[in-house]
């Protein structure tokens, strides 16, 4: 059963405009009633009056630390592939192709960002470098909307981290199985 918390004051029961004013000022809490183990329980879920977080800066580019972390995770992937899967000329050519592919995948966006930074005249550059903590508490512009900057960071780095650490785990299991084989 769902209901609104609180009662309309008696002084405003006959006045339509006073009822609307009271509803606007009333805390928006939904009372949820459930019956577990034969006993009714009530729980109130209150909504915030602020639907939009105010005074949070909106950034349209990722922080340089995020790019550095992404490059570090790609480097981790390449190193773990070479260290854990190199079998002296059996897979060396394949590892070389993977290394070149990932090197180009990191190098091209970095070069494009350097060119963009040099010739971007849309807005003035920041007067000072933005600290990572301040950037993390802000918003990140995505198409026509914004998301929390820390969520944007997680969305970008989580697949890279999963691949890098997953390959490392698979390589460790591979080495353990290879050492135990007769």
Q: Encode pLDDT of 106-145 as tens digits.
A: 899 889 888 887 887 766 666 778 899 898 989 998 888 8
For residues 37 and 86, state if they share a domain. no
For residues 22 and 99, state if they share a domain. no
Asked, for residue 22, whether it belongs to a domain, the answer is: yes
How many domains does the chain contain in total?
Answer: 2
Asked, for residue 173, whether it belongs to a domain, the answer is: yes
Say whether 141 sits in a helix, a strand or coil: strand
For residues 102 and 166, state if they share a domain. yes
For residues 147 and 63, state if they share a domain. yes
Compute the C-alpha angle 130/135/141, nearest 5°: 115
Strand order in the sheet with 39-46: 2-4, 29-36, 39-46
For residues 37 and 65, state if they share a domain. no
Asked, for residue 53, whether it belongs to a domain, the answer is: no
For residues 88 and 142, state if they share a domain. yes
With a CB cutoff of 8 Å and minimum separation 6, the contacts of 129 are none
Q: Would you say the pTM of this structure is higher than 0.75?
A: no
Asked, for residue 52, whether it belongs to a domain, the answer is: no
Hey, what are 173's tokens? Answer: 């299991």
| 9-52 tens-digit pLDDT | 555 455 566 666 555 555 555 555 555 555 555 555 555 555 55
For residues 66 and 38, state if they share a domain. no
Question: Looking at residue 7, what is its pLDDT?
Answer: 54
Q: SS3 sequence, 146-168? A: EEEHHHHHHHHHHHHHHHHHHHH
Question: Looking at residue 12, what is its pLDDT?
Answer: 47
The residue segments making up the domain with residue 15 are: 2-46
């Amino acid at each position: 059963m769902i209901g609104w918390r609180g009662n309309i004051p008696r002084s405003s029961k006959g006045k339509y405009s006073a009822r609307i004013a009271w509803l606007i000022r009333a805390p928006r809490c939904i009372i949820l009633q459930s019956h577990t183990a034969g006993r009714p329980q009530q729980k109130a879920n209150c909504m915030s009056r602020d639907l939009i977080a105010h005074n949070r800066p909106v950034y349209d580019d990722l922080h340089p630390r995020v790019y550095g972390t992404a490059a570090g995770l790609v480097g981790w992937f390449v190193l773990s592939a070479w260290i854990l899967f190199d079998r002296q000329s059996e897979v060396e050519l394949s590892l070389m192709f993977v290394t070149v592919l990932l090197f180009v995948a990191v190098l091209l966006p970095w070069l494009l960002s350097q060119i963009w930074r040099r010739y971007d005249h849309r807005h003035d550059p920041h007067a000072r470098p933005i600290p990572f903590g301040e950037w993390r508490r802000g918003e990140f512009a995505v198409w026509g909307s914004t998301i929390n900057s820390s969520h944007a960071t997680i969305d970008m780095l989580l697949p890279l981290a999963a691949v890098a650490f997953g390959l490392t785990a698979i390589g460790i299991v591979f080495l353990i199985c290879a050492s135990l084989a007769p």
